[in-house]
Structure 1
């Protein structure tokens, strides 16, 4: 524990932090005293709530699940509510903030538009439209996003009956930011741009500029869940999902999400809606620089189609001309350089120099010139400030990995020169030219030009890594999402190029519309059949510049292909094989899938195998610190061992089915590897029919997930910062980091003399938390403590402001929780104690093992205490203390 000196400034900081101050931006994730509550099936929610004399406000009522979201004036009202409703409540979640979609933006003009859509050929869109005439006509597609600028000519120009955007609602209003009160209206017009861009990818139809979306004749529903700035809340998003279902949407697109779990509330509702016939497509996430296990909810839903991103074939960019060469560049503002022309000088004498321009520049004349520098070693702003101080009038940053870089300067007021980003390959070309042809003038034109993308058809660097936290396979498929040109609000240029899985997801939603039209329209394909078609027909692609398949944890089943999906006459179930980890495997490492021949005649099939790159998720040093960018390992020793495929050849009659059993073992040297995801595909080839080649992806972990350290414990983490004595006006600061996702992080107060627990601290109950960046001390669970304890886990969740959430079973999980708080098992075997765990009264104490445990936000008596931080391992038992990582603080005085 670190002690702060008595300092008025520090005390002011402490008070600000305790009152949603300077760290609130880093902490905020839950909506205070607000819950989403799912009741038991036979409960009449309206009548039941009317019978309770408890102050509350219903935010949303849900018709497709027996649930409501409601808020309370304070945690005492929340505690009273949950005490009285315990027998009626099935699950509860704290309402979680969801960040506004974050996509990398490059605004451009409308020149050379027709040449930007080669990816329509690669995903089968052009073929299904040209050969079969499918355009999505008659299919309703809901867009749950920032709204849609329906005044855009490519999107119909109007809103309401008879318009392309025929359905929709604004659930929040312009000023809503996630914390403020929503101000709903009937007008879903976009004031941000993201939703308009998504709509264009799905179904724009601009005949003047020859730009069409994937399904240019669909009917849109626009459901606005974000204001012009800020975040939203998961109950708002869920209400929009239900409204889309009730409006008859055949498919909805969710280009949004946050750290989540398959049982996050939005994922649960998404699964419910898919069973009722509406297809749900969602972005996998843009956390490619955070390593494995980073796919977000709601795309983690079992039946939701989770979409990863590949880079486009071509993109519009601003050109740099030199000699006989023209290359493209991007700026964070989207605007071209105003420089016109200037000399360019490389800051370093070596290409890809480490820490290029990270220190003051004193050995080179940059006055009136554009500086060429490499990415890496420090923040973009540091580099730009250094070259600016040396006299440069602009800077071009080349990438240190494949793909185009768009430097972000975060509106730094100290920077007044222009900054552009280019690819690594173009950086080398520029670097050599500056050395070979010094003093040449480089021209920066404002005319946008179409450029081929070097990384076309491979995974986008920003696309999140799977697997899901329960080791199920996510993402499911991939689609173009890097450098995608589409519609933008009319008052912001009308068109723009954006990058993100937010752009890949609507591509798939548009394909779903084409398939639904081809099969008769209006929810004509059930979710099981649709997932089977899309997953099985997708084509795995290679790691950039190699002949090896990209990991299943990154690309899912591969690049989506609408034409192949439509032509499939064979179905395979299940579509994916979840191998689990070393302790959660199939019996004898055997797994079975079933091949269904839905063709017009008997068919012969051959089953073969292709391995993918193995994703090394952790470092080799044994510290189990997750790698931001996993290494992709290639070679026989790191691939799965396929001991048998039985049978390898088979004949199946018309409408017949046959089982195939495969035996899959971890790689040969798995014991010498850090935790890694190994994966691959079983290839089902139908004789004489190239369109009936199916891929069945599999993936597993080379170690036992539950054995991986969860709580980051070193000299500085966890930490408790205390100013002498903890109290209501001098709170302690608590910070902890996870190096692996955890089903439960629990922080309790202990009596320092006896080490007996006295209760959960407010903010000390964190169900299902994603892991943190251990290199960033601000990426952590952070909370303040004033020397009190919460009444229930619900109160503890409401008090904190960070993390994602999962449902809490109000019976069994509470019983397990209080066992976890207490001394380690074994218990005495007397199940009568269970009544004490479940029967929490509204008195001041709860009897357990003949001892008194204060609760209900009660201040602890003056004395010496400790804090105990516990993080449950994946697949861990709530009741088994051995399944937790535990850290106990030094003594903390409470006055």
Structure 2
């Protein structure tokens, strides 16, 4: 159904209840000045909403208008802010327009030619290869919308199958990109006005790579740039819509993202791919809300879980947080093409540094190995010049330990080069092949952890062992391949919901790239995992010969995913890392069982949902008997030392729940369903004061071996989530600074502030979610509450917050500073302009609402009283 038809059915009305302004989340500074997303009350028409804005003297310019979302993006020219807009009758929600980036860390690597084409295919991991060959599924007839940097639609990988030539005209003959729009223009970077047109040509690269994963096809190429490998995407005959929301550089704003989502719906896309970066927050954000509406009206949506795995728990990204949207985690590709060397009779792959142009290492034959040991014989990281004292490394290959805690590859490379090294190899920690920026004029490469150990063993036997360096890449099975990617973000969300939902191949993925940038590239990220999942859905749609409900499709994939282990582990990875597991498209299509719900959120010890009912439906043609069982997964301990900031790498523990079933075997006739009661008992192991996140899978296995087992993931938190630290006290925060002359300084005991040239600034860091991150002002003498801080740089200090990342874009500790010049809001539901306080003595309190509480102050808040500040005229 078209959006216009949906909206026309709504009766026009003018409501008088005040709406809600969602102030910019603490930790996010990426707001667009004076620009807002407005969602109207249900039943309020566009004309009525504009009339109400005019009645309240709002001078504004329309940036975009939305139908199914029922709202608009506006730039305000008058003095009205978000609070004032929310108070206007007919307005339901107001948000700042914010900028989204492409997920961090997704930089292309030069594509190389594997020696074994078949074994290099990541489709072996997921059953897609079988669906291509045996079932002849290609995604034909399915429409997929790519909301990204555009698509190089003239790339021959996006031409129609069997075409003698590529697509040379927009949406024309031989072109599988049949729909699309450029909402922004080349020069757009998120800070300037978008200038769109009908041409969604990709000048950045990300969108073409994403589209290639969904459905690129290099097997049929007759002309144009030749791939280094006859490669094929997941669904090589899908029809594309390319909706460009990024310029050649920079970010994209929520107003154009919403517009792209609605156009994709109006163009009849079956599925949309949103490989966007974003902070960790709550599901009440505009893209998630619209995503839910689209899914309810027949679309499906895949959103990237994020590349913040190095940040620890609570970090899954915004876009896939909707109740029925899919948040996609990443698994590393099990195979890859890498340069290699031979040492002590064994061959090992390595990853050249970017600084040397990713060129193979060409060290002289005389360059033997020198491990950089300390006095105790332990391999060093090479960050200290003194470590080379007395060590002859001139013309030799230095082996370093790959812990990058103290310094990066550039610094240690410069030191090694100055010491005379011919090359440097860095042993990855804990495994895999790390990416190195590297030092100029020095060959550097990362090697697998096991390779480092093998080199050390070979060196001890014979220090004169020589290297033989390959001149071309070869195909290898990668250490860590087939397991969840280190970079993939951990859940949960702020309501202890199970996110991410599922995983897909996203590490070291070969795909199309703009012709102007080399035509093919290898990228890693949840941006690559998401289109793999979306392409898998296209195969599923084609196999069913109908358009199934979006939520049902997600359940089918989650039920049948492959539950996986971390690399080198004997236990299963947490559901907070891999969701339901690695997508198994063959299982999803051939399964004759459905299990719902598709996740179980147990919450915490205080709110434990101990008893759950699951429904098992036999969708096959014969009566089936199912055996119920339980697979426990790793527990994640992020607060083992009493820390207030979650550890970057959660401690894995064997804290397993006990799971009991009302019946361990059930017999179900064809087409019928049975409900089973499942009772959960929290793990006996695990300290509740450390808030371990435990998880596992409830499994139903049919007696018929021809049908795959199905499962549902569950997640719980042992302990009282109300006591999970919110503010980072470990960093000495929160604290009040004085901001004077553009600089922050520590005020003296009797410091006198003013609200013009030397004003208070409240510094905070949010280590986990809070439904209400507030900074409150009280009269120091009477203790009367005066209101919530209104910061001119970040808005009102009240409202929900996700957790912040550890470091900012300048690699400095990420601290949010609310500069306060005396403005406060009297209530949370702001209906008037902020009040300007006069000189006086004020008490500043940082109060963060605890999770899963009703928000009664002060009982439901984590409170830090920062004392009194004296403000003079």
TM-score (norm 2): 0.87
The alpha carbon displacement at 1:302 in A equals 1.1
Which one of 474, 487, 507 corresponds to residue 482 of structure 1? 507
Q: Is the 8 A contact 2:204 2:249 kept in 1?
A: yes
Query: Alpha-carbon deviations, 1:546-571, whole Å to 9, x = none?
Result: 33211111111111111111112221
**Cα distance between partner residues in 2 of 1:506 and 1:784:** 38
Equivalent in the alignment of 2:178: 166
Equivalent in the alignment of 2:802: 770
Q: Judging changes above 3 Å, is the alpha-carbon distance between structure 1 residues 672 and 581 closer, same or farther for their aligned structure 2 residues?
A: closer
The alpha carbon displacement at 1:352 in A equals 6.3
Matched, 1:584 2:607: yes
Q: Judging changes above 3 Å, is the alpha-carbon distance between structure 1 residues 496 and 165 closer, same or farther for their aligned structure 2 residues?
A: same
Equivalent in the alignment of 1:889: 866
Which one of 570, 588, 593 corresponds to residue 614 of structure 2? 593
SS for the counterpart of 1:309 is strand
Equivalent in the alignment of 1:136: 139
Q: Is the 8 A contact 1:357 1:387 kept in 2?
A: no
The alpha carbon displacement at 1:166 in A equals 1.5
Equivalent in the alignment of 2:473: 448
Which one of 697, 702, 706 corresponds to residue 718 of structure 2? 702
Q: Is the 8 A contact 2:734 2:762 kept in 1?
A: yes
**Cα distance between partner residues in 2 of 1:715 and 1:514:** 49
**Cα distance between partner residues in 1 of 2:560 and 2:850:** 36
Residues 422-501 of structure 1 mapped to structure 2, 5 A cutoff: 422-438=447-463, 442-501=467-526
Equivalent in the alignment of 1:336: 358
Q: Please, which moves more after superposition, 103-112 or 307-316?
A: 103-112
Equivalent in the alignment of 1:609: 630
The alpha carbon displacement at 1:205 in A equals 0.8
Q: Is the 8 A contact 2:754 2:839 kept in 1?
A: no
Equivalent in the alignment of 2:823: 789
Q: Judging changes above 3 Å, is the alpha-carbon distance between structure 1 residues 460 and 751 closer, same or farther for their aligned structure 2 residues?
A: same
Q: Is the 8 A contact 1:535 1:560 kept in 2?
A: yes
**Cα distance between partner residues in 2 of 1:331 and 1:236:** 38
Q: Is the 8 A contact 2:108 2:521 kept in 1?
A: yes
Q: Is the 8 A contact 2:202 2:514 kept in 1?
A: yes
Equivalent in the alignment of 1:667: 683
**Cα distance between partner residues in 2 of 1:864 and 1:113:** 74
Which one of 340, 358, 370 corresponds to residue 319 of structure 1? 340
- Gapped regions of structure 1 (runs ≥ 5): 1-24, 793-813, 818-836, 843-854
Equivalent in the alignment of 1:761: 790
Residues 706-721 of structure 1 mapped to structure 2, 5 A cutoff: 706-713=722-729, 716-721=732-737
Equivalent in the alignment of 2:592: 569
**Cα distance between partner residues in 1 of 2:377 and 2:613:** 51
**Cα distance between partner residues in 2 of 1:711 and 1:519:** 49
Equivalent in the alignment of 2:392: 365
Equivalent in the alignment of 1:273: 294
**Cα distance between partner residues in 1 of 2:817 and 2:470:** 51
Equivalent in the alignment of 2:65: 61
Q: Is the 8 A contact 1:108 1:317 kept in 2?
A: no
SS for the counterpart of 1:385 is helix
SS for the counterpart of 1:769 is coil
The alpha carbon displacement at 1:446 in A equals 4.8
Q: Is the 8 A contact 1:539 1:695 kept in 2?
A: no
SS for the counterpart of 2:486 is coil
Q: Judging changes above 3 Å, is the alpha-carbon distance between structure 1 residues 193 and 841 closer, same or farther for their aligned structure 2 residues?
A: closer
**Cα distance between partner residues in 2 of 1:302 and 1:81:** 28
Equivalent in the alignment of 2:658: 641
TM-score (norm 1): 0.85
Which one of 72, 77, 80 corresponds to residue 76 of structure 2? 72
Matched, 1:650 2:666: yes
**Cα distance between partner residues in 2 of 1:627 and 1:695:** 30
Equivalent in the alignment of 1:101: 103
Equivalent in the alignment of 2:766: 738
Residues 721-736 of structure 1 mapped to structure 2, 5 A cutoff: 721-722=737-738, 723=740, 725-736=753-764
Q: Is the 8 A contact 2:102 2:275 kept in 1?
A: no
Matched, 1:386 2:415: yes
SS for the counterpart of 1:128 is helix
Q: Is the 8 A contact 2:644 2:729 kept in 1?
A: no
Q: Judging changes above 3 Å, is the alpha-carbon distance between structure 1 residues 91 and 574 closer, same or farther for their aligned structure 2 residues?
A: same
Matched, 1:243 2:263: yes
Aligned residues: 799
The alpha carbon displacement at 1:443 in A equals 4.9
Equivalent in the alignment of 2:704: 688
Equivalent in the alignment of 1:294: 315
SS for the counterpart of 1:513 is helix
**Cα distance between partner residues in 1 of 2:394 and 2:336:** 32
The alpha carbon displacement at 1:865 in A equals 3.0
Q: Is the 8 A contact 1:549 1:611 kept in 2?
A: yes
Q: Judging changes above 3 Å, is the alpha-carbon distance between structure 1 residues 499 and 714 closer, same or farther for their aligned structure 2 residues?
A: closer
Q: Judging changes above 3 Å, is the alpha-carbon distance between structure 1 residues 279 and 407 closer, same or farther for their aligned structure 2 residues?
A: same
Q: Judging changes above 3 Å, is the alpha-carbon distance between structure 1 residues 172 and 539 closer, same or farther for their aligned structure 2 residues?
A: same
**Cα distance between partner residues in 2 of 1:455 and 1:389:** 33
Residues 732-881 of structure 1 mapped to structure 2, 5 A cutoff: 732-759=760-787, 760-762=789-791, 763-772=795-804, 778-785=812-819, 787-790=821-824, 817=828, 840-841=831-832, 855-856=834-835, 858=836, 860-881=837-858
Equivalent in the alignment of 1:530: 553
The alpha carbon displacement at 1:356 in A equals 4.1
Q: Please, which moves more after superposition, 63-72 or 99-108?
A: 99-108
Matched, 1:405 2:383: no
SS for the counterpart of 1:503 is helix
